[in-house]
Every structure is written in structure tokens, then in C-alpha cells.
């Protein structure tokens, strides 16, 4: 297996290994896991991806999320990001499926709004538009390391509230349904996630973050915006241009990502599996103290 850094300062392509080999072979898994901890975004090209290989590969890394209410693939371990309706036609730009893709175009980290946040996401491209539709990543680990020391100290003991309805509300007021809101109450997490393998810390925030515990709302909003802007400033991202057979895996503890637009009349179909974080992945360290006691 060759590790080819993609940059800037994170993300790498792994060559000479298939998802099926990693699923089947402990030594291959260990090498990929180490690369995941180090590089935060892993790119695999030329894969023969099926739902089964993607699921088997993903399961090596930990328990899979069950797809939430309101998503395509609900109740399975697959999230289907599609702009194609049941008759095979590309949906119009104001269709729910298109708006959900639009919400993915906000900088975010997957599942910060869930009771159990995500360790990693694995995304495969099944239908790719001719232009656009890239996925862009930044390192929140490098963002953390760029912050000034006093701010880092403060954030290490700050807790942000995350809500699915908040990020969806930025796209359309009712994009999060009543059912989704009821299933997904706001969650509170420490704003710094320490990787237990290498001890490196990452800023933990996203489009779902709307408030900071104990901080007046306008000041919290200002700080969240400043932190997001600093983390996503020009020149800091890796942009993945999808090709057939590509699979990208990212560390939700140490990155943010966003989808990029593409011409609305073109189809795009992506399939995601999401691995839940466990205490071995440092989950305990982001739990607010009150909840540590309560759980
Ligand atoms: C995701 C996501 C962006 C994209 O699958 O979690 O945000 O480019 N995808 O489809
Ligand atoms: Mn996402």
C-alpha cells in the first residue's frame, strides 16, 4: 500500500489496496486505520464498489449508524444522496432531494446533531455529473493548531449546541420535518476533540452548531462565524473531484466538508456509510460534564 499525500497538510490517497482486502485482512485494516488517524481524509480510486463491499469495509472501523428518519435509505446503514426521483428523472432545484443536497453544501461535520456523533463517513460516487459536484474538505485539526493559545484554552472548556433543524433552516424553513425535529433534539459537545491515538486536538463545530453554553447568543454566533471562517479560508481545502470507482473516507472528529454545486439538470448519486464514534475514539472527551455524570 502506498500513501500519497494530497494536501494541504492533510488528506492522502491510498494506492494498491481495495476495500474488499481491507475488510478481509487485519494487517491491511491496521495500516489503513493508522493512515486514517494521521491524514483525516483517505481517497481510494479505481474501486469496484457495491453496497456490500462498502458496508463490509465500513464495519471494520466500528458500529454503523442506522439511517435516520426523513432520509433515503431510512432504517438501513446506507445514506443515499440522490437527485433522481422514483421514475428515474432528475428532480427540479426546489425539490426536497435537491434542497437536501444544498444543505450538504454548507460546511459541516456529519452527525454532530446526533445522540452519538460520528467517527467517520465513507462516501462512494455512483452517478457523477460531468461538471461540478466535488466534495471539499478542511482540517479542523490544523484549524485548531492555528488558533492563538488563549482562545484554544477557552475553547477546550467550551460546549457548543448542535441542531439539525438549525443547518436545514438556513436552506428552507421547513426542510427539517416535524418528525425529524422530534427524533433529533439538540446535542451539546465540547468544542475540541482530542484524538486518543496521537493526542492531537481538533476544533469541533459545524453548520449544525448554533449556540455556545453560557455565552450570550450574539457573541456566540460571532465566535462561531469567526471560527468557521478561519477554518475554511481560501487555500486550506482539499477538493475531491469524483471519478467512477472513487471512495473517500473522512474523520468527522478532525475535518469539515461541503458538497459543491453542479448543473441542476444533471443527475448525481452518492452512497454514504457512517461509523459511530465510541469512547475508544475519544467520544468521552467531548461529552459535557453534566452528561458524563448522568449517563
Ligand atoms: C455527505 C456529504 C457531500 C457531497 O455525504 O455527508 O456531505 O459532496 N456529501 O455529496
Ligand atoms: Mn456530510
Per-residue pLDDT reduced to its tens digit, 171-221: 998 899 999 999 999 999 999 999 999 999 999 998 999 999 999 999 999
**Which residue owns the Cα nearest ligand 1 atom 8?**
259
Q: How many residues are listed for the chain in this entry?
A: 295
Cis status, amide bond into 271, omega within 30 of 0: no
Query: What pTM was estimated for this model as a whole?
Result: 0.96
* CA 92/CA 95 separation, integer angstroms: 5
Mean pLDDT over 10-20 rounds to 98
Structure confidence at residue 69 (pLDDT)? 85
Q: C-alpha distances in angstroms, 82 versus 71, 86, 101, 109, 266?
A: 10, 11, 8, 19, 11
Structure confidence at residue 154 (pLDDT)? 98
Beta pairing partners, 43:
13, 248
Give residue 257 CA to ligand 2 midpoint distance, Å.
Answer: 6
Give residue 293 CA to ligand 1 midpoint distance, Å.
Answer: 34
**Percent of the chain's residues with pLDDT above 70:** 98
* CA 44/CA 248 separation, integer angstroms: 6
Beta pairing partners, 256:
138
Cα distance from N-terminal residue to C-terminal residue, the chain: 41
Structure confidence at residue 292 (pLDDT)? 52
Q: pLDDT tens digit string along 241-285?
A: 999 999 999 999 999 999 999 999 999 999 999 999 999 999 999
CATH node for 2-294: 3.60.130.10
| Burial class of residue 198 (count of CB atoms within 10 Å of its CB; 0-12, 13-18, 19+) | exposed
Verify whether ligand 1 is closer than 6 Å to residue 270 (CB atom). Answer: yes
Structure confidence at residue 68 (pLDDT)? 83
Q: pLDDT tens digit string along 100-158?
A: 899 999 999 999 999 999 999 999 999 999 999 999 999 999 999 999 999 999 999 99
Is 80 exceeded by the pLDDT of residue 295? no
> Which atom of ligand 1 has the smallest separation from the CA of 270?
10
Q: C-alpha distances in angstroms, 190 versus 75, 155, 156, 285?
A: 29, 8, 7, 8
Give residue 209 CA to ligand 1 midpoint distance, Å.
Answer: 18
Give residue 12 CA to ligand 1 midpoint distance, Å.
Answer: 18
**Which residue owns the Cα nearest ligand 1 atom 2?**
104
Is 90 exceeded by the pLDDT of residue 25? yes
Amino acid at each position: 500500500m502506498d500513501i500519497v499525500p494530497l494536501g494541504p497538510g492533510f488528506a492522502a490517497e491510498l494506492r494498491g489496496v481495495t476495500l474488499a482486502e481491507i475488510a478481509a485482512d487485519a494487517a491491511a485494516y491496521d495500516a489503513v486505520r493508522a493512515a486514517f488517524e494521521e491524514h483525516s481524509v483517505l481517497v481510494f480510486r479505481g474501486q469496484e464498489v457495491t453496497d456490500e463491499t462498502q458496508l463490509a469495509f465500513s464495519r471494520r472501523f466500528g458500529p454503523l449508524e442506522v439511517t435516520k428518519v426523513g432520509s433515503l435509505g431510512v432504517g438501513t446503514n446506507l445514506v443515499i444522496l440522490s437527485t433522481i426521483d422514483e421514475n428515474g428523472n432528475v428532480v427540479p432545484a426546489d425539490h426536497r432531494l435537491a434542497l437536501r443536497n444544498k444543505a450538504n453544501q454548507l460546511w459541516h461535520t456529519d452527525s454532530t446533531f446526533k445522540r452519538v456523533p460520528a467517527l467517520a463517513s465513507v462516501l462512494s460516487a455512483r452517478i457523477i455529473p460531468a461538471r461540478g459536484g466535488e466534495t471539499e474538505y478542511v482540517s479542523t485539526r490544523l484549524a485548531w493548531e492555528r488558533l492563538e493559545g488563549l482562545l484554544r484554552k477557552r475553547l477546550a472548556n467550551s460546549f457548543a449546541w448542535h441542531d439539525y433543524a438549525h443547518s436545514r433552516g438556513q436552506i428552507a424553513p421547513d426542510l427539517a420535518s416535524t418528525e425529524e425535529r422530534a427524533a433529533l433534539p439538540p446535542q451539546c459537545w465540547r468544542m475540541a476533540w482530542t484524538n486518543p491515538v496521537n493526542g492531537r486536538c481538533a476544533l469541533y463545530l459545524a453548520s449544525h452548531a448554533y449556540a455556545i453554553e453560557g455565552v450570550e447568543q450574539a457573541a456566540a454566533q460571532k465566535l462561531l462565524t469567526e471560527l468557521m471562517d478561519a477554518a475554511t479560508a481560501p487555500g486550506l481545502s482539499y477538493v475531491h473531484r469524483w471519478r467512477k470507482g472513487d471512495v473517500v473516507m473522512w474523520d468527522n472528529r478532525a475535518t469539515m466538508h461541503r458538497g459543491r454545486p453542479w448543473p441542476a439538470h444533471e443527475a448525481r448519486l452518492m452512497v454514504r456509510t457512517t461509523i459511530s464514534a465510541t469512547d475508544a475514539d475519544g467520544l468521552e472527551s467531548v461529552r459535557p460534564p453534566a452528561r458524563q455524570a448522568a449517563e
